[in-house]
A and B are shown apart, each in its own frame.
Chain A
């Protein structure tokens, strides 16, 4: 049983979205609600975890129902499933992490129209069994999450000199106390999220092992 659960094909489902099939940098899905919350690592982590939860549950539910859902109303069924899960996440965050929830404000709600979730439901969960859908959801959600965390890492480190709210550079380095270092305030502003993602894409595609057919024309 073990060998079939983690067969080569299933492992690929899990690992592909982390690299060469990454939802953000290759498939261009789910960017909408992703970038605005990458100013601090904590927000990004909460967002990534919410997406993992919503995505895994939605994929499993839709996959379990795939033979029952009439194909003409499948979009509405998907929307209902996803939005109920998002409401659930939103209420949990409001109850236990009210300050983070306030900062994330509308972006938790926007998970509903996050194309990555609808995209995977349409493309994968509707046509596959429960277990592969589960793995596919985890893979894609984590592939989404790590880009989010990477962007947030650079933005928080360079923009405010902190990681998870803890100061990284010693006080003496800062210009205010006679040092040489200044935080780059540009990193906190929204446009830098786009540029950081652009650079991540550049680095990823510059690797020799990157499949050539995925490179684009201008």
Chain B
């Protein structure tokens, strides 16, 4: 249990997707103009990460990794399909996004109308594929750990986008030098927020 909390906290603060790895920057910059849209996209990212990473974890451990196919019999025990992992992961992400979109539309039209436009955007959000690839690289030992990592990174991403959106809403009233307006100042503020988040480094529960 302690280990799970640790992985979660690490994903949120220390190995934050935005501030430490710059994953999902494109949608982060494009959709952070108001807090409302920021919350929508952030929630969608948590949702999709929480679904795709466990699925990719199963794929990785029962299909792709060296020796993962041993449940098929002796002959397959030494097979290593890990060169296929990228294609498998991106296929899972793209199809899961599509599936989630259809399910949400069917069962919760209200959630769909608030998340709707953001869901397709997520398929090309690097943080989702990044989550899968990091999961593969760090070799979590159980599916629960992988899920906890996914939710942690999702929440970290959520925090980052809501934070920057709130700052950008306020900064509209200040007098930023013309060439720095928009993109430039957003980059610099993100950098400063990243420095702020660095004070969580080394936390261990």
Residues of A within 8 A of B (CB): 25, 28-36, 75-76, 79-80, 83-84, 86-87, 90-91, 105-106, 109-110, 112-115, 118, 186, 189-195, 197-199, 201-202, 204-206, 210, 215-218
| Complex interface: chain B residues within 8 A of A91 (CB) | 83
Find the A residue at minimum CB distance from B197.
Answer: A191
Whether B182 contacts A218 by the Cβ 8 Å rule is yes
Whether A191 contacts B87 by the Cβ 8 Å rule is no
Whether B198 contacts A195 by the Cβ 8 Å rule is no
From A25, A32, A83, give the contact of B26 (CB < 8 A). A32
B residues 3-25 near A (Cβ < 8 Å) are 19-25
- Does B143 touch A at the CB level, under 8 Å? no
Residues of B within 8 A of A (CB): 19-26, 29-30, 83-84, 86-87, 90-91, 94, 123-130, 133-134, 137, 168, 171-172, 174, 176-188, 190-195, 198
Whether A109 contacts B21 by the Cβ 8 Å rule is no
Find the A residue at minimum CB distance from B129.
Answer: A113
Find the B residue at minimum CB distance from A194.
Answer: B191
| Complex interface: chain A residues within 8 A of B86 (CB) | 83, 86-87, 90, 109, 112
A76 to B129: give the CA distance in the assembly, Å: 15
State whether A25 and B183 are in contact (beta carbons under 8 Å apart), knowing that A30-B26, A31-B22 are contacts in the complex: yes
Whether B129 contacts A109 by the Cβ 8 Å rule is yes
Whether A216 contacts B25 by the Cβ 8 Å rule is no
In the complex, how many angstroms separate the beta carbon of A181 from the nearest chain B beta carbon?
A: 23
In the complex, how many angstroms separate the beta carbon of A61 from the nearest chain B beta carbon?
A: 16
